[in-house]
Structure 1
């Protein structure tokens, strides 16, 4: 993944969040897990992150082709971009749907949570359990 779209590190952090949450749940009920239990956690982690990584990878690949002028079509797209709203429009249309669905750490409260123009699907909790999206909301 290339860093120019600004989402590479985010994809990595999402993997950390998914694995941390799953391992935390396992260790809460089984402090000395067997290899099979750990294997199940790693499989769940892979399933949770694979779709998001594929979506992000598509965006990274497209964005690098535009900015590197990979061919005439991408060069024209890069030239017209500022007239069509530029990077903010690109972010709203392509990156925001990925970013707004980011996972959150289950056990980490956020007492100063703020929300911008694009609402988060998963919101951190102030003290109890985090507010989770339902499966129909993109989880």
Structure 2
């Protein structure tokens, strides 16, 4: 009889752990991470090749940030594709890192609780500030 009780307690404990992990995963807040932008005061001196390289680096930063948040399970990172039109429209009018809350429209459209806005400030070729 004690073997059955012990087996049932292990099964119950396993079920509770499984349910707890599912609930904990659902309890994570959702986030939309917007693509990183570059603030470069010396952009007028850049040639096309430098601009292309900087654009590639920004994409790499954005992918690494998304991957890191998903791996660490900090947030549920959503796909921005359903709001791509809105994001493009907002970006064409203003800098999303300084738009005074325009990113909240993206949050509403995607149904997320948070929006991560990333920008990299290039001070020189050696000094960069990454902001989120």
TM over 0.5: no
Q: In proportion to residue count, which structure has more strand? A: 2
Could you say which structure has the greater relative contact order, defined with CA pairs below 8 angstroms and 6 or more residues apart? 2
Q: In proportion to residue count, which structure has more helix? A: 1
